[in-house]
Structure 1
Amino acid sequence: MDPVTLPGAPNVALRAAEKRGYGVPNEHGDRPGRPAPDRGGSSGGTALAARRERPRWRQRVSTTLALIRANPTGRVALKIFIAIAGALVVTIGLALIPLPGPGWLLVIAGLGIWAVEFHWARRLLTFTRRHVHNWTEWVKRQSLTVRFVLGAVGLVFVSTVVWLSLKYSLGIDVVARALHYLATH
């Protein structure tokens, strides 16, 4: 196996793992079904190669995950940790969906956490991104009137969800209080 040439401290850990006999892939190109990364070379030029390089923090995270996966116990522990962390974020997101705020964003973030280890989550996240992108592009192509109507429908929906959440979970009927206030003042 070729030695890995990433700068910094992770090289020491990679070499130690290789000495123990663990194969440590350091790039996504080493995984089956993915193309090998293009290093720029003579055809791409330095500007193109610099643009394609991953940020340092992503390289370190990728190297750390590869080191953990290289050990059979680490691989199982990582799967368990990712499963629990993703489930926690998704559960909080699902609980917050009826309320205004980041409910769906947290569900998608939890899906992103699961996508680190689980192929089904990676496929579902890709599906979700594609459909959200297609919806956004469709809305951008519509006239200003259609966009206004979509925004108004969204605002009415969110307002109704907030009103029903306050009424049935906290016992506060905002509409009745507002009507009572208007009638007395």
Structure 2
Amino acid sequence: MKVVIIDTGCSNILSIKWAFKRIGYNTYVSCDPDIVLSADKLILPGIGTVKTVMKHLNKKKLINLIKSYKKPVLGICLGMQILGSNSEENEGIKTLGIINEPVLLMNYQNLILPHTGWNKIKFLSNNDLFKNIQDNSYFYFMHSYAMPLSTNTIGQFYHGKTFTAVMQKDNFFGVQFHPERSSKAGLQLLKNFLEI
């Protein structure tokens, strides 16, 4: 299996690569369209800004390629956020539009932002992504923006109110948290994704 982590210009790519190595999978890190297109599974990582990532993907001519990709894709944190329609970050940026949901600043009830640390996830489906992971398991978060709940939400978390923690639309999956920093549950989720 060829697993490609798209080089989005973000800072958590090596930690994701090492997480896959821990569960027995080698990965490629690339922004070359031919290599991306040849992947069996794609990972969209993200720690940084929406503006930087979208500018990088556009420069590398990857936007339409990702949108038309038919095999499983996993967006992590910012990588999930860019699957939405737009982001409030930097006064509003159009993103990939895989799902028709915005990403909004979590300014509900004067929350402390960024939302950093461990939080539990409530599963809303029996999705294969959750195989061998207990409901209400804890995962590690680090973000200030989030997607509201929608028909694509398959897992949710609470931070002042409920937000989307995990989403799926067709072959596109997204997690707001960092599985590569989420101990055994996070590694199991990555393994589950590769087995979909």
TM-score, normalised via structure 2 length: 0.24
Determine which structure has the larger helix proportion and give its number. Answer: 1
Determine which structure has the larger strand proportion and give its number. Answer: 2
Q: Which has the higher contact order (CA 8 A, sep 6+)?
A: 2
Bigger CA radius of gyration? 1
